[in-house]
Amino acid sequence: MTNRNTTDIRLQELLVFQAILSNGSITAAAEALGLRQSGVSKQLKILRDFFGDDLFVRSGRGMAATNKALSVAPQVASLISAFETLSGEIAFDPREIERDFVISTTDEIQHFLLPELVTRITAESPRSRIIFKVLDRDYAAKQLESGSVDVVITPNWHVPEHLKQKRLFSDDFVVLHRRGHPLARRKLSLKEYLAAPHMMVSPLGNTFGPVDEVLHADGRRRFVSLVVPYFMQVPDALLGSDLLLTLQRRACEELVQHHALAISELPLTARPVHYYLYWHKRYDKDSTNQWLRQVCCDILGS
């Protein structure tokens, strides 16, 4: 009998089919795809209309595949594989998607990224939602693999090698301190720098950073008396003390505009910091991930 069903079916619905089949539940499928559960349920309805079958029925705590679902599963897998070989030739419209975009990064990057990102997502993918997560100690490697985090933005210091990456911009180090600091009246010397108390901004709680690596190689060290996880804690710490903060110039220039802080040049040679965008290789060809990466590159790229 000829199938008279004229319901359209897209790659997204095929991916939902495969995710439910692989994960055994709508909730797990939504998490794996980075979609809302309501979005997966809506696409399952489209699949059911198209195939004229329930495809997945409740069984215990999950969803069991019907005979129809099992019979078409090989063809669905083949179609997905065929789509992936088209290398981006599939039509993709961000206005049609409804999903969470999850970004793991530091709060100073959030500060630079957020205003324009909100504008872009609102205009180009209005049914989607942005979620920021604090950077994990493994640079969200596990979350990138599972799909619960879409991209990570961070300096490339000790990031796992198996992640895909793209350089966004580079920045050099300067020294930030309060206006009227005793060392601000003249050019900061290396001797004065090493003798002063220091603070660090480290989301991962590290007490040894790139500047310390340079000093260590030359047999020198500085004393870091305060480590904070967030960029926005800097003014409170510096304004009431004689601490020095060695940080990227872009972030320091932002703070100087809004607080009684000043910048001195770093009295040693340190390599610039390169900021990278990271994603897992399994999502390298994913249209939504590609689009989010391009938006981040447009905003932060040098």
If phi > 0 it is left, if psi is from -120 to 50 it is alpha, else beta; for residue 117 that is: alpha
d(Cα 244, Cα 175) in Å, to the nearest integer?
A: 6
Number of domains in the chain: 3
Query: Could you give the CA distance from residue 299 to residue 170 in angstroms, rounded to a whole number?
Result: 14
Same domain, 34 and 122: no
Residues 265 and 203 in one domain: yes
How many CA atoms lie less than 13 Å away from 242 in the CB half-sphere?
10
Task: Provide the residue-wise pLDDT of the chain in tens; the chain has 302 residues.
Answer: 444 454 567 888 888 998 899 888 888 888 777 778 888 899 999 999 999 999 999 887 788 999 999 999 988 888 877 776 655 545 568 888 888 899 998 888 888 899 999 999 999 999 899 999 877 766 667 778 777 889 999 887 566 667 888 999 999 999 999 999 999 888 999 999 999 999 999 877 888 988 999 999 999 999 999 999 888 899 999 999 999 999 999 889 989 999 999 999 999 999 898 999 999 888 888 888 999 999 999 999 86
Q: Are strands 62-65 and 164-171 parallel, antiparallel or unpaired?
A: unpaired
Q: Assign 57 to helix, strand or coil.
A: strand
Q: Are residues 164 and 290 located together in one domain of the fold? A: yes
Nearest CA among 99, 11, 101 for reference residue 47: 11
Which domain does 109 fall in, by range? Answer: 94-169+275-300
CATH no. for residue 251? 3.40.190.10
Report if residue 255 sits inside a domain: yes
Residue matched to tokens 């939602």: 129
Single residue among 53, 84, 115 that ends a domain in this structure: 84
β-strand 173-178 against 261-265: which pairing, if any? antiparallel
Domain membership of residue 5 (yes or no) is: no
Task: Tell which of 20, 51, 84 closes a domain.
Answer: 84
Residues 37, 26 contacting (CB under 8 angstroms): yes
- Which helix (H) or strand (E) element contains residue 45? helix 37-51
The residues, ordered by sequence, that sit 6+ positions from 297 with a Cβ below 8 Å of its Cβ are 166, 168, 277
Q: What's the pLDDT at 263? A: 96
pLDDT at 213: 92
Structure tokens at 27: 């909730």
Residues 125 and 139 in one domain: yes
Q: What is the pLDDT of residue 300?
A: 92
Which residues are within 8 A (CB) of 152 and not within 5 positions of it... i.e. 6 or more apart?
103, 104, 105, 135, 139, 140, 144, 159, 163, 277, 278, 279
Question: In this structure, are residues 274 and 167 in contact, taking their beta carbons and an 8 Å threshold?
Answer: yes
Asked if 20 and 26 count as a contact pair (C-beta separation under 8 A), the reply is: yes
Same domain, 80 and 29: yes
Whether residue 225 is found in the same domain as residue 257: yes
Which amino acid would we find at residue 54? D
Whole-number pLDDT of residue 228: 93
pLDDT tens digits, residue range 205-214?
888 988 999 9
Instruction: Count CB-CB contacts under 10 A for residue 97.
Output: 17
- Residue 264 sits in the same domain as residue 283: no
Assigned domain for 190 exists:
yes
DSSP code at position 99: B
- In this structure, the answer to whether residues 267 and 287 fall within a common structural domain is no
- pLDDT value for 2: 42
Asked if residue 265 and residue 183 are part of one domain, the reply reads: yes
4, part of any domain: no
Helices and strands, number each (H, E), in the chain: 11, 12
Is there a single domain that holds both residue 143 and residue 228? Answer: no
Q: For position 44, which CATH number holds?
A: 1.10.10.10
Q: Do both 53 and 126 map to the same domain?
A: no
266 and 280 in a common domain? no
126: in domain: yes
Is 180 within the bounds of a domain? yes
Note the pLDDT of residue 32: 74
Flag whether 89 is in a domain.
no
> 1 lies in a domain?
no
Of 24, 56, 84, the domain-final residue: 84
